[in-house]
Each structure stands twice: as structure tokens, then as C-alpha cells.
Chains A and B, each alone.
Chain A
Amino acid sequence: EAQVTQNPRYLITVTGKKLTVTCSQNMNHEYMSWYRQDPGLGLRQIYYSMNVEVTDKGDVPEGYKVSRKEKRNFPLILESPSPNQTSLYFCASRFAGTPGLSGANVLTFGAGSRLTVL
């Protein structure tokens, strides 16, 4: 089954304790991205990657790191989490090239990771 898999799905941690949220896709997508969802703010893009070893900042990159060493994986790293990073996180992927007949190159989302930082 074509999917984006995130782990962990739920995590409670404490301020300053480094953590990594993994993201893996099995669709050979070039593009991968991380979002956070907060009430009243919708989804905001943290980082994205157009291909292996190519990453770029989204709208809210502060406090986060990413790496793209393999095409299928795009982990999100919180080096020193703080309470304002408590949020619902989504990883997503799609093809990166010129849209085909559908014109969309639609994002496929993971199930989400709910992170609480105390």
C-alpha cells in the first residue's frame, strides 16, 4: 500500500531532550515536507526537500532540523524541544516534476505525530 509512515504517533517529552520524528514513504516521491498544525493557524510548513540532499526552509523552521540522505526518509529533528513546539506534526510527499495530466502532484500525508513538550 502506498503510504507515508510517521513515528512516533504520540510523544510526551520534556524541554531540552532531543527527539527525532521519522518519516518514510514508499512511493518513490522526490518531494517531502514537514508541517505543524496548531489551532486557528492551519498547517504551516517547517521544511521541505525537493530531492536527496536538497532541503529548504518553510515558513516556521526555527528550532527544527531535517536531513534527506535517502529518497524515502525525511526525519524531523528537534535538538532542544521547547513547549511552544507542542503541536500536531505531519509529514507529506509527492512527485516533484512537472505535473502530469492531472496537473496536481497531490501531497500524500502521513497520519500525524502529536508531540507534547512539558
Chain B
Amino acid sequence: AQKITQTQPGMFVQEKEAVTLDCTYDTSDQSYGLFWYKQPSSGEMIFLIYQGSYDEQNATEGRYSLNFQKARKSANLVISASQLGDSAMYFCAMREGRAGGTSYGKLTFGQGTILTVHP
């Protein structure tokens, strides 16, 4: 089974509107971390936001927030007030296990969602 699933190959949003990018994950670990990265057309990987499995509050970073629903194993990225510069590929990723554990070094990415922001 896929550990990280992003079911939206592409999404479109109007400038200034909010958009949600879906991410579901599969793990039996109690301790894990979820990340979102942005990859613009220039190719670099830019860290956006992190959610730990024990964090009680949803993570927020400026216009980015993570809608973390642990029971449903989903970690959707919400971008508010979209800007043209938000057009990019977005990746969800998961790191399982605790520091020092054998699986702690592995980071699994989803397939990515291409977001296009229209003016």
C-alpha cells in the first residue's frame, strides 16, 4: 500500500482564493511527522510546514495551514489567499518512528500535486 497518497495530480485556483491540497498517509507507528514541500518550476525543494503526530494543534505558517485529521490519516495543506507565485508542485511527505529508531531515517513522499493559480 502507498504510504503517502496525493490523489490530485493537478489543481486550479483563482488568485486570492483558498485551496486545499489533499494528502492521506498510512502508518502503524504512533510517532511520525508529516511535511509539505513546494517545488516551483525552477526545481528547488522548499519546506512549507510540519505536523508531528503528537501535536494537538494544527500547524500554521503564514498563509499555510495543515488540516491534520489523525483518525482519518489525512494531512491536507490549506493555502489561503492564493498568489500567482504559489503555482508549483506540492509534495506531502512522512517520516515514521522516533529519533534513534531504525525507520527514522526514511522519508516517504507522495506523487505530488501541481497547483496552478489563475489571475
- Chain A positions within 8 Å of B, measured between CB atoms, are 31, 33, 35, 40-45, 48-50, 56, 58-59, 88, 90, 92, 96-99, 102-109, 111-112
Contacts and interface: CB of A to CB of B under 8 A. Distances in A.
B71 interface: no
Given A42-B110, A112-B43, A50 B50 contact: no
Given A99-B99, A103-B33, A33 B105 contact: yes
Given A58-B106, A98-B99, A43 B35 contact: no
A49 B17 CA distance: 41
Nearest to A95: B99
B60 interface: no
Given A43-B91, A102-B50, A103-B55, A109 B109 contact: no
21 contacts: A35-B109, A42-B91, A42-B111, A43-B91, A43-B93, A48-B106, A56-B105, A59-B106, A59-B108, A96-B104, A97-B99, A99-B52, A99-B99, A102-B50, A103-B52, A103-B55, A106-B35, A107-B107, A111-B43, A111-B44, A112-B44
Given A31-B105, A35-B109, A103-B33, 17 more contacts: A40-B111, A42-B91, A42-B109, A45-B107, A48-B105, A49-B105, A59-B108, A92-B45, A98-B98, A99-B33, A99-B99, A103-B50, A103-B52, A104-B50, A106-B47, A108-B47, A109-B45
A59 B4 CA distance: 14
Interface residues of B, number: 25
Contacts of B108: 45, 59
Interface of B: 4, 6, 33, 35, 43-45, 47, 50, 52, 55, 91, 93, 98-100, 104-112
Contacts of A90: 45
